């Protein structure tokens, strides 16, 4: 959870405070947990909401109300099983350019590549269709490639 927070928020002090807040919220609201679902997805959803609210509160980054990815989703991109070396290179590129991306793309990259969650788990956490997860992931990778060429 701490890694997710630091990658998403970039401020270690804020991240640590907010991770603690996430666990307090989870403890306080444990009765709302649906045991038919994965606990980790429920916890990540609490974290997502807490981090987005913190960003809005500080006014650091604009959070768009209109999200074209949700309105016009594309088919889900197939996941590929590349070697660990390629995976490590991807993680390094993501880390190098993460702070230059919009929150919705930064978050999807962190959840997929760094937290290694599935499309379904990300969909559950962000409350977006699985196809939108694929679209955002594709767009985030495209933006990383463009940043890499600069």
Phi and psi at residue 75, in whole multiples of 5°? Answer: -60, 150
- CATH no. for 68-149: 1.10.10.10
Could you tell me which of 110, 105, 121 has the C-alpha nearest to residue 69?
105
- Please state, in angstroms and rounded to a whole number, the distance separating the CA atoms of residues 30 and 43: 10
Residues 6+ apart with CB under 8 A from 77: 134, 137, 138
Please report the pLDDT score of residue 22 as a whole number.
92
pTM beyond cutoff 0.95: no
Please report the pLDDT score of residue 68 as a whole number.
47
Task: Measure CA 102 to chain center.
Answer: 11
Please report the pLDDT score of residue 73 as a whole number.
46
Task: Measure CA 125 to chain center.
Answer: 9
Q: What's the CATH number of domain 2-58, 1.10.287.3240, 3.40.1360.10, 1.10.1740.10, 1.10.1040.10?
A: 1.10.1740.10
Residue whose tokens read 């401020």: 11
- Taking the domains of the chain in order of start, what are their residue ranges? 2-58, 68-149
Please report the pLDDT score of residue 64 as a whole number.
46
Please report the pLDDT score of residue 72 as a whole number.
45
pLDDT per residue, tens digit, the chain (150 aa), is 777 887 777 677 778 888 999 999 999 999 988 888 889 888 988 998 888 888 777 765 444 444 444 444 444 443 444 445 556 676 777 777 777 888 888 888 888 888 888 999 999 888 889 999 999 999 988 888 888 776
CA 50, 55, 56, 59: dihedral to nearest 10 degrees? 160
Q: Quick check: do 2-58 and 68-149 share a fold?
A: no
Please report the pLDDT score of residue 63 as a whole number.
44
Residue whose tokens read 């909401």: 49
* 3-state SS, one letter per residue, for 111-131: HHHHCCCCHHHHHHHHCCCHH
């Amino acid at each position: 959870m701490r890694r997710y927070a630091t990658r998403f928020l970039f401020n270690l002090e804020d991240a640590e405070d907010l991770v603690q807040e996430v666990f307090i919220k989870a403890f306080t609201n444990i009765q709302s947990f649906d045991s038919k679902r994965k606990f980790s997805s429920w916890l990540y959803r609490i974290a997502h909401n807490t981090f987005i609210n913190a960003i809005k509160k500080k006014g650091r980054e604009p959070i768009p109300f209109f999200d074209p990815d949700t309105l016009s989703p594309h088919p889900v991109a197939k996941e590929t099983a590349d070697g660990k070396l390629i995976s490590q290179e991807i993680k390094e590129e993501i880390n190098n350019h993460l702070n230059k991306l919009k929150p919705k793309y930064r978050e999807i990259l962190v959840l997929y590549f760094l937290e290694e969650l599935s499309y379904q788990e990300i969909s559950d956490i962000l409350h977006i269709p699985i196809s939108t997860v694929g679209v955002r992931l594709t767009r985030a990778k495209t933006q990383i490639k463009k940043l890499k060429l600069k």
